[in-house]
Structure 1
Amino acid sequence: MSSNILFVSNESGKAIFLTSNDVLVKSFCSLSNTCSSKDSCRSCSLIGAAKNHLRGTRSGSNIKPLDGELSAGIGEYKIGRNVLLKVMGLGSCIGVILSDVSTGICGIAHVLLPGASDKGETKYAETAIEKMFEDMVKIGARKSRITAKFAGGAQVFKHMSLDVLKIGDRNAVSVEETLIKKNIPILAKDVGGNVGRNVIFNPADGSMIVKYTAKGEVLWL
């Protein structure tokens, strides 16, 4: 049975394809910003390679099936191995990704607030990162190999100027300070601005895919 999620890469670019009954239904593509079809996905070498794989024929592209997907809601984190990870609809919240590429174990947290919680609530940056890190190690991730990427922290209410209301900025600072304190290398970040984001993590190549909700721009970091 074909995987529902395929990562395809070649000299042209790379893409995640979500499939249903061997039909391509959605993609996250590194060529989105220059492709006239955008998310409609009509015809290119990446699509051709994915379709050939689904038909059981060989292609010249690198193709790796993923073992499903997990999505973290507000204040949650999810961990898995070789799975697509997502947090959607980020405004001032931060999507924090921890991964150990040597084992394929990765996690994503949907951070709502800065600081830590004395009640263990994972909507707080420090608490979420620490708990996610510990749970990843418990299932086999190696502490010394875990790295981080994060995105979000927008100032969605443009007219609020009081520092106490700039939750997005405070979230970004809290996430970064926590990662530094735990000696977790930060490989990429995309924070600030006033536009919401969706964040996807692709364990096949360690990419954080950031899609801006208003502009439609896609970044692979």
Structure 2
Amino acid sequence: MTCDIAFVSTASAKAIVLGRNKTVVGSYCSMNGRCAYGSCNMGCELIMEAKNHLNGSSIGPNVKLLEGELSAGIGEYKMGKDVLLKAMGLGSCVGVVLYDQSTRMAGIAHVLLPGASSDGKTKHAETAITTMLEDMVSNGARRRHICAKFAGGAQIFKHMSLDILKIGDRNIKSVEETLAKEKIKILATDVGGDMGRNVLFNTIDGSLIVKYSNGELLWM
């Protein structure tokens, strides 16, 4: 069963809406926390506009359909254009997005460990970022236009104080160092803390959605 994904953008808010069989099954709204409903409600204008578009009853100028979603598992990266990219269940791991706005080609890496890999596998930050960068360029991205956003690197087990166990901090530092080495501009980050995260990247407008383990959302 396929899932349609609609992106709604108005002057006041944005939303990613997931629909199946003409029914809204999930949504991520930039008004979360400021909405009078407290969370996305089926009566919300954004949700209604997306729903009407998904079921074919209305073609609104504020709605664009994404072509699907790709999820990077631990130590993997995914890339595409006009899709929703995801890295789910980030604890000490870091979700790194590289994005070329001129072509809308983007990639997301689910980084597990700092440094470079001796076997070429993409679970390490440096190897993941450089491999994904090369793959994006070979598929049409323009290197000079590529920028980055990333989130994660939490210290889930707060009672562990040994530096060797602070893998989240080490992952963050390794990601930052690799991006600096590759001369890739960092546009936004959300790192550290003690909460897990899911991250979703919308390749249509370049927005990164961070959903924390407590249910709160951050758009950046």
TM-score range for the pair, normalised by the shorter chain length: over 0.9
Q: Which moved more, 1:29-38 or 1:139-148?
A: 29-38
Q: Distance in 2 between matches of 1:209 and 1:69?
A: 14
Identity of aligned residues (%): 63
Structure 1 residue 21 displacement after superposition: 1.6
| Cα contact 1:15–1:29 (8 A) shared by 2 | yes
Mapped contact 2:17–2:26 kept (Cα < 8 A): yes
Q: In structure 1, how many angstroms separate the alpha carbons of the residues matched to 2:110 and 2:177?
A: 17
Deviation at 1:11, TM superposition (A): 2.7
- In 1, the alpha carbon distance for the partners of 2:75 and 2:193 equals 22
Q: Distance in 1 between matches of 2:211 and 2:183?
A: 28
Give structure 1 regions of 4+ aligned residues with deviation exceeding 6 angstroms.
Answer: none
Partner of residue 143, structure 1 = 143
Runs of 5+ unmatched residues, structure 2: none
1:218 equivalent to 2:212? Answer: no
Residue by residue over 1:119-163, the C-alpha shift from the partner in whole angstroms, topping out at 9 and shown as x without a partner, is: 101000000000000000011000001110000000000001111
Is the aligned partner of 1:161 residue 2:161? yes
1:25 Cα offset (Å): 0.8
Aligned-pair RMSD on alpha carbons? 1.5
- Cα pair 1:153 1:171 within 8 Å, conserved: yes
TM-score for the superposition, normalised by structure 2: 0.94
Gapped regions of structure 1 (runs ≥ 5) = none
Number of paired residues? Answer: 217
Q: What SS class does the counterpart of residue 122 from structure 1 fall into?
A: coil
Residue identity opposite 1:171 in structure 2: N
The superposition leaves residues 19-78 of structure 1 with CA deviations (integer Å, 9 ceiling, x where unpaired) of: 112211111111122333525x3211101211232333244x511110100000000000
CA distance in structure 2 between the aligned counterparts of 1:45 and 1:22, rounded to whole angstroms = 17
Q: Does structure 2 conserve the Cα–Cα contact (< 8 Å) formed by 1:3 and 1:66?
A: no
Distance 1:181 1:29 in 2: 35
Aligned to 1:197: 197
User: Which residue of the partner structure matches residue 75 of structure 1?
Assistant: 75
- Matched residues in 2 for 1:88 and 1:12: separation? 27
Report the Cα offset of residue 12 of structure 1: 3.0
Which residue identity does 1:219 align to in structure 2? L
